[in-house]
Structure 1
Amino acid sequence: MDLEQLFGQYKEQSIEGRYITLDKIYPILEKLNTNNQLEIIGKSVLDIPIYKFQIGTGKIKILLWSQMHGNESTTTKALFDFLNLLSGDSELAKTLLKAFTFYAIPMLNPDGAKLYTRANANEVDLNRDSQDLTQPESRVLREAFECFKPDFCFNLHDQRTIFGVASTGKPATLSFLAPAYNDEREVNETRLKAINLIAGINDVLQNYIPGQVGRFDDGFNINCIGDTFQFLGVPTVLFEAGHFQNDYWREETRKYVFMALVSSFEILSENDIVDSRFDNYLSIPQNKVVFYDFLYKNIKINYDGIEIITNFAAQYKEELIDGQICFNAYVVHISELENYYGHFEYDAKGAIYQDENENSPKLNQKANFYLNDKKFVNGVLVQSL
């Protein structure tokens, strides 16, 4: 199967970028709702509807949810690409709809999506509320889980640009986790199903993003929803959509999430899971915090009247300004940066640092500066003077 071609055919063209709100996805839900598959299953803190879209008649029941964290929208885009596929008339769609029943919650946290925040309107991280269930959104998801009784859960997230695949120097474009179900992080039959599925997904993705698939840390926290559902006996797969080179809007990453979803259900529909692929799962390198957005090496600065050579790093903050996501770069680290990488790296070779006010960078200032005759604005080299 040509997954690249499939993505191009079913990509939902009406949504792109990072700022995905309910206003943007509701017209798509209406378009897809050809047979009363759409339903309001609850309300957010700010009384905004939370929707489910259910499709398929198969015996294997799949629960998927996205934007539990409001500023994590990549998987939402890919989920709609996948729903477009299911709503088409291809043989693949017919096969999947016959094998599965899909219960999708495209936006669990519409308030956080509007505010572009991780938390909900009460400033609660829903992914730490799976036991206390203090928030309406958390209760909506738990009720969906208990009523639908899924055979597999797909917990769809984004991760920051700081994550790399171990120490390879490659970004973790997609990462996966079969969450632990106890403190000892043991592997029972439930968790093994998720482990085997991830190993199969990784086999496919290595053909497209070799060396750019990571494995998320499996420290157990019963307050996290994936750990809870795994504890309750339902195989759960955590998706973490990360950075692809020069893809801050995550349109490339979106494609690989779509590929991973399609591959997941192909594997499950064909029952293409061997007894144990635990070793294959463990061979997926772990995520490691090894990246900055910008890394500047061998900078000459004046420190207390003495010229020294140092390095510094800058990182984007994603800031919602007038309804638009702006990537604003700030200095976050000054000193040796051994074993770190930059998505953009610049070797100044001893060039002198200068900005409007200082002759050395300061933490938390905007990354606007000069290195000799090179001008950098918002972290980016814009011109030579």
Structure 2
Amino acid sequence: MTIKYLNVLLLTIITTQLYAQPVEITNSLYETYDSYKEPTLNKRRIKHQELVPLVKGYRNNPKFDVTTVGSSIEGRTLSLISIGKGETDVFLWSQMHGDEPTATQAIFDILNFFDSDDFIDEKEEILKNLRLHFLPMLNPDGAEVFQRRNTLGVDINRDALRLQSPESKTLKRVRDSLSANFGFNLHDQST
């Protein structure tokens, strides 16, 4: 699944809960996707240092709330980017496997969509009803060397009970604090 299809799918899921014309919205989102695509994340491998200026930009944007929620074993920051005022919380996290960057790219495309001047009525409706929370890279140390596991050799996706790594503990702490109504653990399929 390409990033474009993932973005359209995620935005369609969100918008179809609020609108009766999902086909029209899906087609419009698909046709305008290139205007939201994050141009700096254009390689197969994405490293944490490439996200830092993007996160900083959202931290300085009044539409978004950005919180540092933890750090990796090697000291890379884990950030939560939130938008919306609704009572329904939706939590999306990506790249718990360091070699699966597609959803990280998709998250920044979606953030660009919410920051754009397009689809004003649709976005207003979405953000009135939902509070969206994005943790775009849970395993930055694995991403640094393009490997599934973190620096400790832990598969974060299999560490929900033992909580052996700081990244797993951060994910649990954020999930618990949000009490989100919906959670999306975003992965790649393969190259």
- Measured against the shorter chain, the TM-score band is 0.7 to 0.9
Q: Which amino acid aligns with 1:113?
A: A
Which position in structure 2 is the counterpart of 1:14? 40
Q: 1:62 to 1:80 in 2, by over 3 A?
A: same
Partner of 1:44: 72
Asked if residue 104 in structure 1 is aligned to residue 134 in structure 2, the reply is yes
1:65 counterpart (82, 93, 99): 93
Q: Secondary structure at the match of 1:118?
A: coil
Decide which of 112, 115, 128 is 1:87's aligned counterpart: 115
* Aligned pairs (5 A) from 1:42-191: 42-89=70-117, 90-161=120-191
Distance 1:76 1:95 in 2: 25
Q: Which amino acid aligns with 1:25?
A: L
Offset at 1:160? Answer: 2.5
1:82-139 CA distances to partner (integer Å, 9 max, x unpaired)?
1111122322222211111011100001101111110001111001100011110000
Q: Write the deviation string for residues 323-370 of structure 1: whole angstroms up to 9, x where unpaired.
A: xxxxxxxxxxxxxxxxxxxxxxxxxxxxxxxxxxxxxxxxxxxxxxxx
SS state at 2:154 partner: coil
For the residues of structure 1 that align with 2:77 and 2:55, how far apart are their CA atoms?
A: 13
Task: Name the amino acid aligned to 2:158.
Answer: R
- CA–CA separation in structure 1 for the residues paired with 2:58 and 2:189: 28
Match of 2:58 in 1: 32
Partners of 2:76 and 2:37 lie apart in 1 by 26
Tell me if the contact between 1:70 and 1:118 (Cα under 8 Å) persists in the aligned partners.
yes
* Equivalent-residue separation in structure 1 for 2:122 and 2:31 (angstroms): 13
Q: Report the TM-score when normalising by structure 2.
A: 0.80
Please tell me whether the aligned partners of residues 18 and 71 of structure 1 are also in contact (alpha carbons under 8 angstroms): no
Instruction: Find the residue that maps to 1:103 and give its secondary structure.
Output: strand
Mean Cα displacement is larger for which, 16-25 or 58-67? Answer: 16-25
> How far 1:46 moved relative to its partner?
0.9
Cα RMSD for the two superposed structures = 1.3
- Considering fraction of residues, name the structure with more helix: 2
CA distance in 2, matches of 1:50, 1:83: 17
Query: C-alpha separation between the residues in 2 aligned to 1:92 and 1:11?
Result: 19
TM-fit CA distance, 1:65:
0.2
- Aligned runs of 1:1-385 on 2, under 5 Å? 1=25, 2-33=28-59, 34-35=61-62, 37-89=65-117, 90-161=120-191
Structure having greater relative contact order (Cα 8 Å, sep ≥ 6) = 2
The one-letter code of the counterpart of 1:23 is Q
Which stretches in structure 2 are left out of the alignment for 5+ residues?
1-24
Amino acid at match of 1:42: G
Checking the alignment, whether the CA contact within 8 Å between 1:67 and 1:76 is kept in structure 2 is: yes
1:16 deviates by: 1.0
Q: Does structure 2 conserve the Cα–Cα contact (< 8 Å) formed by 1:86 and 1:97? A: no
Q: Deviations over 1:45-101 (max 9, x none)?
A: 112111110111011100000000011001111111111111223222222111110
- Give the conservation status (yes or no) of the 8 Å contact 1:32–1:87: no
**Which stretch has the larger CA shift, 35-44 or 69-78?**
35-44
Task: Please state whether the residue corresponding to 2:187 is helix, strand or coil.
Answer: strand
SS in 2 for 1:70: coil
Gap runs ≥5 in structure 1: 162-385
Larger of the two Rg values belongs to structure: 1
Rounded Cα–Cα distance in structure 1 between residues aligned with 2:116 and 2:85: 15
Aligned length: 161
Amino acid at match of 1:13: P
